[in-house]
Amino acid sequence: MFEDEIAKLAVEPPRRLESLPGLRLRGSIPKAAIILPLFFIAFFVMMPLSIMHADPAMRLAMGPTQSVQGRVISNTTATACRGEASHRVTYSFSAPSGREYRGSTTLCEESPYYSVSPGEAIEVRYLKNEPTLSALASERQQEPPPLALFFFMPFFFLALFGAMFWPSIRELLRARRLFKNGRLAVGKVIFVKKRATGFWPGMPFNSASEVYITFSAAGEPKREGVAACQNDWLVNQLTPGTDVHVAYSDDKSAKVALLEAYVR
């Protein structure tokens, strides 16, 4: 099987990986299988960013701010602070552009601005690029979100979904190493066993087979090896006794590379 293509391979290592197109790294994972992980990664990255953008208090806590002196316009009774006494303070301030802005906040009794009167001076902190978002400077600021957690979230999902792709990538890396630096031999198929390489049912990279092969090089006793094969068409051709070509190492490892699986 594929004798003409395999006959062109160099007998002695090191061999050029380009000799077998199937050994290309970019072909180790089907493109369709990447769509779902990319969707989840993008979703969990954009979700906290959209929440942060929609929450004025969070934007004020995280963005560049500036403090100016403002004036109290009114101080009225409000209902807040879990049913306890509270006031609604409305204030005004001017940005460096000269334009006047207004803001309001609800204060509980422990606030230093709880009893301010109209006309009193207060310190106001506002968002530089959007002065309509403001707060009293001495009021307790909302704690900024844990940015480090948001930063590491994509890596968490990369690790999660990476476990789905790693078996295929590991097999390809092993095959590349064996083909480049190992020895070549002709063997015969003993039997083929179906196995799963992922934990996401129905995905195209979830199906693989283990091909058990007996082979021997000149002057060596027979050995048995196991090669991974994700080509279902090829697996259907590998009946017991079929001649195949393998790349193997001298360290007596049971893992070998089935060259027919990487001809295309």
Question: pLDDT by residue (tens digit) across 168-192?
Answer: 888 889 999 999 999 999 999 999 9
pLDDT, greater one: 230 or 44: 230
Q: Are 202 and 145 in contact (CB under 8 A)?
A: no
Taking only the tens place, the pLDDT of each residue in 94-146 is 988 889 999 999 888 888 888 999 999 999 999 888 898 888 887 655 455 55
- pTM of the full structure: 0.57
Which tens digits make up the pLDDT trace of 4-22? 888 888 888 899 988 888 8
Cis peptide before 144 (omega within 30 of 0): no
Query: 8-12, 72-76, 145-149, 198-202: which range is least confident on average?
Result: 198-202
